[in-house]
Amino acid sequence: MRSLTGLTIVPLLLALSVQPAGAQARPACSPDNAGLKLPAGFCALIVADKVGSPRHMVVAENGDLYVGLSGRDGGVLALRDTTGDGVADVQERLGPGQGGTGVAVRGEWLYFATDNTVIRYRRAPGVLRPSTPPETIVGGLPARPGHSAKSIAFGPDGKLYVNVGSPSNSCQVSDRSKESPGKDPCPELETRAGIWRFDPDKAGQAEPDGMRYATGLRNVVALVQRPGDGALYGVVHGRDQLFDNWGKLFNQVQSAELPAEILVRLDEGDDYGWPYCYYDQQQGKNILNPEYGGDGKTGGRCEQKKKPLMGFPGHWAPDGALFYTGTQFPATYRNGLFIAFHGSWNRAPEPQAGYKVVFVPFAAGQPSPNYATFADGFAGPNMSPSDALHRPVGMAQGPDGSLYVTDDRGGRIYRIMFRGAGR
């Protein structure tokens, strides 16, 4: 892996932000880049701080930000900068009194995904906070136990796609227990561990009204549409505890690096193999899980499952993804993929890792294996879930090409901009 400082930086004309009335040219950055480590020519500022637990977000055409907040006091946080200094001086909250993760804008509608519903608000031109009550598009989605965060995206067909994460680590008879076998077939796949498709304009739907679009996906918090062709991509959380539960087959170093967090393209009918399989980025193939008779080398039934586009080190926890289409950043970044890694817990005694944003170049529709760290320093001196100062989650691209990043640990929202050499 290499630093982005090694990439060729081409000076670009900087477009003016498309912002509400009263806004000025692109604002000044924080002297210390808000604590972030960025490639040469980039800088950052804090848009909002200590706002709760911000997860995914979207930027409206005029520069307003809509941020999904998790937790009991969650909902949607609406932000506006009226002075042009980059700081959101107007903050409004709306929501069902229930937190969530996914947020998206489609036409006049603002969509928000709680842990078990997808709702939408009608937006009025120029108005920051929708005043009408939300409409429930999908209700009663499965949440607890297990992975409850719902990410959402729109596909090339205009339909609504929703991640429904697995309730378990690997569908064991006794979840996360030593040498407990896997359920075969795994009943969890009927309602979870996949992507479901719904009509975005039909109220009152439930999961059976949708279609299971893709399966064998443990948890796709990072779900994104690729501009241009509209194809869906995801970055998937791999399973945990290979050494803890199967110490006869895996040592602690292997368990820290495996299995890969995988980047996938999502097409109708895809099956990526969870819980029967995981992807080993070191061997470059799908491997049969030990719960189903695997030994860390055998592919077995997993040879018939779809392979990912690429794999990242284990347990980095991918929570956000964004294809960059702006012109503010150097041309090197055009149409490439940013991924926000929330950070690991299951790598001990090896050092914990993640807690950063990486960049994956794309060429001819394929990702380059030579991904690089783009933004680091979120965690501060202690890289662990309980001690990290900040943990990146969601990303959005502003009208001027700025990159916004949320942090659900310290409640911060960053804006990253390109200034060029000698800024």
pLDDT band of residue 8 (cuts 50, 70, 90) is very low
Place of tokens 């918090």: 221
pLDDT band of residue 369 (cuts 50, 70, 90) is very high
Q: Are 398 and 414 in contact (CB under 8 A)?
A: no
Average pLDDT, the chain: 93
Q: What residue ranges do the domains of the chain occupy?
A: 4-418
**Which stretch of 17-21, 102-106, 274-278, 280-284 has the lowest confidence by average pLDDT?**
17-21
The residue-averaged pLDDT of 232-252 equals 98
**Which pLDDT belongs to residue 404?**
98
pLDDT band of residue 15 (cuts 50, 70, 90) is very low
Q: Are 145 and 139 in contact (CB under 8 A)?
A: no
The b/e string for 175-199 (b: 16+ C-beta within 10 A; e otherwise) is eeeeeeebbeebebbeebbbbbbbe
Whether 10 shows a pLDDT value over 60: the answer reads no
Whether 317 shows a pLDDT value over 50: the answer reads yes
pLDDT in tens, 126-154: 999 998 999 999 999 999 899 999 999 99
The residue-averaged pLDDT of 6-31 equals 48
From residue 109, how far is each of 36, 60, 240, 325, 372 by CA, in Å?
A: 33, 11, 37, 22, 35
pLDDT band of residue 384 (cuts 50, 70, 90) is very high
**Which pLDDT belongs to residue 365?**
85
Cβ-based burial of 306 (10 A; exposed 0-12, middle 13-18, buried ≥19):
middle
Whether 237 shows a pLDDT value over 70: the answer reads yes
Place of tokens 């690991």: 344
More confident call, 15 vs 119? 119
Separation CA 172–CA 74 (nearest Å): 32
Whether 50 shows a pLDDT value over 60: the answer reads yes
The CATH code belonging to domain 4-418 is 2.120.10.30
Whether 423 shows a pLDDT value over 70: the answer reads no
Q: How open is the CA angle 109-97-406, to the nearest 5 degrees?
A: 65
Whether 2 shows a pLDDT value over 80: the answer reads no
Whether 381 shows a pLDDT value over 70: the answer reads yes
**Which pLDDT belongs to residue 14?**
27
Whether 12 shows a pLDDT value over 80: the answer reads no
pLDDT in tens, 194-210: 999 999 999 999 999 99
Separation CA 96–CA 34 (nearest Å): 32
Residue 61's CB is within 10 A of a number of other CB atoms, namely 9
Is pTM beyond 0.85? Reply is yes
